[in-house]
Structure 1
Amino acid sequence: MDSNIKTITAEPGSWLELGANFDGKGTNFAIFSAHAERVELCLFDPSGKTEIARVELPEYTHEIWHGYLPGIKPGQLYGYRVHGPFDPENGHRFNPNKLLVDPYARELVGQFDWNDAHFAYDIYHDDKDLTFDERDSAPFTPKCRVIDPSSFDWSADKRPSISWPSTILYETHVKGFSQLNPGIPSELRGTFEGMGHKATVDYIKNLGITSVELMPVHEFPDDQHLLDKGLHNFWGYNTIGFFAPASRYYGPQGIQGFRDMVRAFHDAGIEVILDVVYNHTAEGNELGPTLSFKGIDNFSYYRTLPDNHRYYINDTGTGNTVNTSHPRVLQMIMDSLRYWVEHMHVDGFRFDLGTILGREPEGFDQRGGFFDVITQCPILSRVKLIGEPWDIGPGGYQVGGFPPGWAEWNDKYRDTTREYWKGDNNTAPDFAARLLGSGDIYDLRGRRPWSSVNFIAAHDGFTLNDLVSYNEKHNDANGEDNNDGHNDNRSYNYGAEGPTEDEGINAVRERQKRNFLATLFLSHGTPMLLAGDEFGRSQMGNNNGYCQDSEISWVQWEGLPETNEALRNFTTHLIKLRQTQPIFRRENWRDGMEVNWFNAGGGYQQPEHWLEGTTLGLHLGRRDLEGQKGIWSDVLMLFNPFDGQVPFKIPPLNKGKWILEMTTADPSIRGQEIDQDEDFDLEGRSLAVFRRG
């Protein structure tokens, strides 16, 4: 140890609250490690470059190392050095030469300046991770900062508390959405403050969105292999700090900018949902760097192979898997979630590779510890919980397998809807189920239609525009010879790959975008719109923009064709239709709704009809809505995914007439009355909506 570093003696303190907690007079430090032999707290000067003191935590209670330092106030920078066995084959990777990030750090200062010293072993040795490295990683590692969450003033904040049936999700990215927005001051673009700026909030509010779902905003580093190629981790699915906002999105107000953003959305009646990554960390596999968890207690924090603890179970595809079966690791996740709800006022979470969180040693278990704890928590059980119900482990595909109270990304909706509008054969039965909320998947155990999060496009894959403009992915800019990203996109370019001046091709593409959007917002379930799809944003055929912190991934706001504005107006109309008409946002499978399917001849759809063609008619009726002013009690939707016109015989009504509300063939046409048994010429590749008048 440097002779200039002071040695300070700490008081015993408390083990009850993990992290660095200021009590008004000093700070209590507590960190979990079941296998450490000694823990040193390192204090740094305000620059973070000079270690000024080293404190050995004096007490060890219930596997918690802890100590109290009087006079240590918010703003103090710190890190940990943890002593213990370096025995990779038995799962232990302690190395006190590595400065470690506190798992409970609420703010990090600086970025990882990648260096060989970050590795706990000699990377040039033949045995690699079985060796021991003595270089100090502190100069290249961000420092933790003590903060006082109790100082946050939320007195005027009012949570929107949007009901699930009324929810409309909008998946977006803090920087990607704000970086090129001319309505945001240049110094705020790409920041939390830019995301919370009036120009952003007003746009999203005017669109009709109720809940913004932000891609990862927990602290994460850029991967070295990406930096070597001049790229960056844009998406952020590589967490290293589960309590700390990503400082790369800080504006002039720093961490306060995040809270100001949340308050701005709340003032507009919009919820903030965070996409969170608790399934793995940025430390990678056995050859990855030692940044935090790996050096604090590798064997507890990660799942290792039962017969060789040197290696990690890799159900995530990222090198490691967080061990949610360990009670202290599970506690960390719960404490993190509660922190973001209680102290940062977010309204819910979308869990990346959520199956991992329900995975016990024997496999996925919807009655596993994570689900049990979160269901019983009086704080977390009341916020929105959305699972990405798959991982790459055994039995990892769990669409419909999450417990009651959860919503799930429903990729069956995405895939079936894409196939149907592409005109694939034999898709009508599945399309019908997806349109009605996927009751074949979610109508059990008291789950509701909103459990199905319906989406056409998300951050991972083609945008809506590219879905109808490209047959193949075009990911060359990612530097992986176009080998990354999905190959099964269920897309179609209608005659030209990418942008074209062919008016016929462009016309059918615009119509298909309207078909997808209309299907999304008129389906039962919870709609999720990818930011920019409302006006046809393109990523130029790149379906894996994870490393593109560039104009490929940033939302373009200027120089757009008129068709983009028309599509945005169409989307706004659809959202308003959904918001004002309860028949489109079903709350309960047992609400008495009448559901009737018809064929183009006007008769009821019989079993043999379902595989004969995919042109469909759907009547929805709610007798309990009759007589309510401005509320529709009956709607008729017609679907034709083929390129030819179909004469559709309109089924009769007991009273009244069918009035055309919308057709994707020409959104300007509406108000046409259709008599009973009259044919309606349903244009090719179009959807029509009628209401009873």
Structure 2
Amino acid sequence: MDIYFQDAAGGWEAVLLHEHTDGVHHGTVDGLQEGCRYAFWPHGAPLPGGGAGQLLLDPYGRGIESDGGSCYSVYVGSGFDWDGDAPLRTEWRDTVVYECHVKGQTMLHPGIPPELRGTYAGLAHPVMLDYLTNLGITAVELLPVHFHTDEPHLQELGLSNYWGYNTLGFFAPHAGYATAAARVAGAKAVQDEFKSMVRALHAAGLEVILDVVYNHTAEGQEDQPALSFRGLADEIYYRHDANGYYLDTTGCGNTLDFSEPRVVQLALDSLRHWVSEYHIDGFRFDLAVSLCRDGRGHFNPAHPFLVTVGADRALTGVKLIAEPWDVGPGGWQTGRFPPGWADWNDRFRDSVRDFWLADRHPLNHGSPQGSVARLANAVSGSADLFGPSGRSSLASLNYVTAHDGFTLADLAAYDRKHNEDNGEENRDGQNDNRSYNHGVEGPTGDSRILDSRAHSARTMMATLLLSLGVPMITAGDEIGRTQHGNNNAYCQDSALSWVNWVLDDSQEQMLKTTRRLIKLRKSFLGHQPYSYPARADDAYLFWFNERGEPMTTDEWEDPATRVVQVLLGSPGGANDGLLVFNGSGGNRRITMPAARWRTGTGPAAEREMFELLFTSSEMGDRRRGARIRGGEHEMVGPWSVAAYKI
């Protein structure tokens, strides 16, 4: 194997890596200086195009640069003044995740200088830091920032892989998100800008979680030029069937083979690199099931990758979040990842969407739908789903929306996807969105419908932020961001995907509501131990029907049951609050629970006083602060959540 590198004069030199140990080519290269471009090529093989061309990138390259046609690894040093920066280690119980895109978060922000918009430096600008901290979130989860490229079919359409799930370098930050000045200065400046962003976010009290894509790479099929892994060791890096064809459990054309020790090592080395060199606080693993398939292709919750990550001292305390599925056989594994991991809880997503949106179509025509039981299970942290793996509801990463799918506003405005701009004749993206357009598809000037949509968005946000588990908000949902019905905007690097910061009154109100709900969540959890709840029976949740009586089995199973109350208890016997969910189309006159409930003691004689802190109904702030005694009646609006302090 030869290494080609660019000398100080701009010419290319070749040096044979004459050592070969355990399948690894290695050697000492004199003259390779910091900032130099380099790449690999099989010794004696003709160069692509007769010149340097697209050589094979270093899988461990710390920097990658492109000249518009070819990519090159760059030798980069690691020095940086962290100024005392240290991991924040925010407890899972206190964590509120905000999923955002480096570029899309600031590209349209009028308060950020134009030269910083859409960049790492833009995300670290004081205006954005103030916004995020005032919102109340504790961690930003960044869509992929590893160096990535655009698929050929998107380039032919004049589009790009905006989301970035097409990784070419697992150790290099994506240069396209750096400022123009940093890109001109070179790979080290790009690296430093990224590190400065992390340092600034940490100083503001915000953890940084990376969405990482170790399940496949940007390399295409056999008929496309090799870029790195395929040209170096195709048979080691990728899964193949008995006939030598690529296996695909990702839907992206090739899958890395995590039954191979070198692939497991690559991923672990990359994770350690981002923790040690970039001070990253956690990782969300895209299509994580593909990382845990054994040599026969079966998911294994004790896979060597999972075991090694859990035992690695360098990763101790780092947040690990699985997207617990892929498109291969047996691909749905939510709840089966081991202790130490949190799972994206798609059951929570579906239950919330069904109860507040999808059920309304048949209910409007007099057909009973699912009872409140599924929603109650989600609100209580899906204990039945996570308990068998030895985990509590703190392993449930709850979400209603994510980058993939409708935004929160679009869930309440569209019954169908509208992905025509993606160039696939609306064939791409999910068809089952569990959404409800409130009577009109898309934009409308009908104030009644607009108010109903805003009401639904508030209700879903309240359900997300007041449930047990760890909530994740998708960037822009707190201000009513729309993608105009596009539920697969992966290729839309435009205003369609970017967060628009010019807000109308309704959007300002949604922002105010989200901030209030995050504060309310923190107050509800204020008396709980940081491990709360460690087990399902530690949850101290007491469920009541609309008459203020304990729920019965028949009521849980009755599809007509659309109202439930839950008393949030504490291990010490105190009660922190009451939540009421009304999933019916009319006002419901409920009876507040009449007694204080403590574990092991039953109802006590004293009567509770409930103070209304929040309601998603139209009455909103007008009744905030109202006080109702236990046993007395209260009115809860249709399709609403109400929260009370005791």
Change (3 A) 1:107 1:623: closer
Name the residue aligned to 2:3. 41
Q: Aligned to 1:439, which of 359, 383, 387?
A: 383
Q: Aligned to 2:625, which of 671, 678, 683?
A: 671
Count of matched residue positions in the alignment of Structure 1 and Structure 2: 607
SS class of match (1:349): strand
8 Å CA contact retained: 2:53, 2:70: no
**Counterpart residue type for residue 41 of structure 1:** I
Q: Distance in 2 between matches of 1:497 and 1:398?
A: 34
8 Å CA contact retained: 1:467, 1:493: yes
Change (3 A) 1:658 1:278: same
TM-aligned CA deviation for residue 249 of structure 1: 0.6
Name the residue aligned to 2:34. 74
Name the residue aligned to 1:183. 111
**Counterpart residue type for residue 289 of structure 2:** T
Change (3 A) 1:634 1:77: closer
Q: Deviations over 1:576-614 (max 9, x none)?
A: 111232168844226744322122222221111122322
Residues 1:480 and 2:424 are matched in the alignment: yes
Name the residue aligned to 2:132. 204
**Counterpart residue type for residue 146 of structure 1:** Y
User: Normalising by the residue count of structure 1, what TM-score does the alignment of the two structures yield?
Assistant: 0.85
- Please show how residues 6-155 of structure 1 align to structure 2 within 5 Å: 39-45=1-7, 51-83=11-43, 99-110=55-66, 113=68, 140-149=69-78, 151-155=79-83
Q: Aligned to 2:514, which of 561, 571, 576?
A: 571
8 Å CA contact retained: 1:102, 1:292: yes
Change (3 A) 1:480 1:600: same
SS class of match (1:329): helix
- Please show how residues 279-678 of structure 1 align to structure 2 within 5 Å: 279-305=215-241, 307-309=242-244, 311-362=245-296, 363-422=298-357, 424=359, 425-558=369-502, 560-582=503-525, 586-589=532-535, 592-610=538-556, 611=558, 612-622=560-570, 624=572, 626=574, 633-653=575-595, 654-665=606-617, 666-668=619-621, 669-678=623-632
**Counterpart residue type for residue 211 of structure 1:** A
Name the residue aligned to 1:242. 170
**Counterpart residue type for residue 616 of structure 1:** V
SS class of match (2:572): helix
SS class of match (1:241): strand
Q: Distance in 2 between matches of 1:281 and 1:423?
A: 36
**Counterpart residue type for residue 622 of structure 1:** S
Change (3 A) 1:315 1:427: farther
Q: Distance in 2 between matches of 1:64 and 1:228?
A: 37
Q: Distance in 2 between matches of 1:83 and 1:441?
A: 53
Change (3 A) 1:57 1:691: same
Q: Aligned to 2:192, which of 256, 274, 287?
A: 256
Q: Distance in 1 between matches of 2:259 and 2:80?
A: 33
- Please show how residues 162-181 of structure 1 align to structure 2 within 5 Å: 162-181=90-109
8 Å CA contact retained: 1:272, 1:348: yes
Q: Distance in 1 between matches of 2:93 and 2:326?
A: 27
- Farther off after superposition, 609-618 or 182-191: 609-618
**Counterpart residue type for residue 306 of structure 2:** F
Q: Distance in 1 between matches of 2:150 and 2:11?
A: 25
Q: Distance in 2 between matches of 1:85 and 1:313?
A: 28
- Farther off after superposition, 318-327 or 609-618: 609-618
Q: Distance in 1 between matches of 2:334 and 2:156?
A: 37
**Counterpart residue type for residue 316 of structure 1:** T
Gaps of 5+ in 2: 183-189, 360-368, 596-605
Q: Distance in 1 between matches of 2:44 and 2:301?
A: 36
Change (3 A) 1:71 1:625: farther
**Counterpart residue type for residue 186 of structure 1:** P
Q: Distance in 2 between matches of 1:640 and 1:288?
A: 55
Q: Deviations over 1:300-359 (max 9, x none)?
A: 000111x211x1010111110001111112111111110000001111100000001111
TM-aligned CA deviation for residue 635 of structure 1: 1.6
Change (3 A) 1:359 1:663: same
Change (3 A) 1:678 1:193: same
Alignment RMSD? 1.9
8 Å CA contact retained: 1:419, 1:427: no
Q: Distance in 2 between matches of 1:453 and 1:623?
A: 23
Q: Deviations over 1:505-558 (max 9, x none)?
A: 111111111100110010000000000101110011110000000010000012
Q: Distance in 2 between matches of 1:289 and 1:569?
A: 51
8 Å CA contact retained: 1:469, 1:499: yes
Gaps of 5+ in 1: 1-38, 87-94, 114-139, 627-632
**Counterpart residue type for residue 614 of structure 1:** R
SS class of match (1:296): helix
Change (3 A) 1:356 1:344: same
SS class of match (1:408): strand
8 Å CA contact retained: 1:42, 1:51: no
Q: Deviations over 1:173-213 (max 9, x none)?
A: 00010111111110111111111111111111110110100
Identity %: 43
Change (3 A) 1:46 1:223: farther
TM-aligned CA deviation for residue 274 of structure 1: 0.2
Name the residue aligned to 2:187. none
- Farther off after superposition, 505-514 or 236-245: 505-514
8 Å CA contact retained: 1:423, 1:641: no
- Please show how residues 207-218 of structure 1 align to structure 2 within 5 Å: 207-218=135-146
Q: Deviations over 1:372-400 (max 9, x none)?
A: 11011001232000000000111111000
Q: Aligned to 2:157, which of 220, 229, 238?
A: 229
Q: Distance in 2 between matches of 1:661 and 1:454?
A: 23
TM-aligned CA deviation for residue 157 of structure 1: 1.0
SS class of match (1:274): strand
8 Å CA contact retained: 1:40, 1:82: yes
Name the residue aligned to 1:12. none
User: Normalising by the residue count of structure 2, what TM-score does the alignment of the two structures yield?
Assistant: 0.91
Q: Distance in 2 between matches of 1:336 and 1:218?
A: 10
TM-aligned CA deviation for residue 637 of structure 1: 1.2
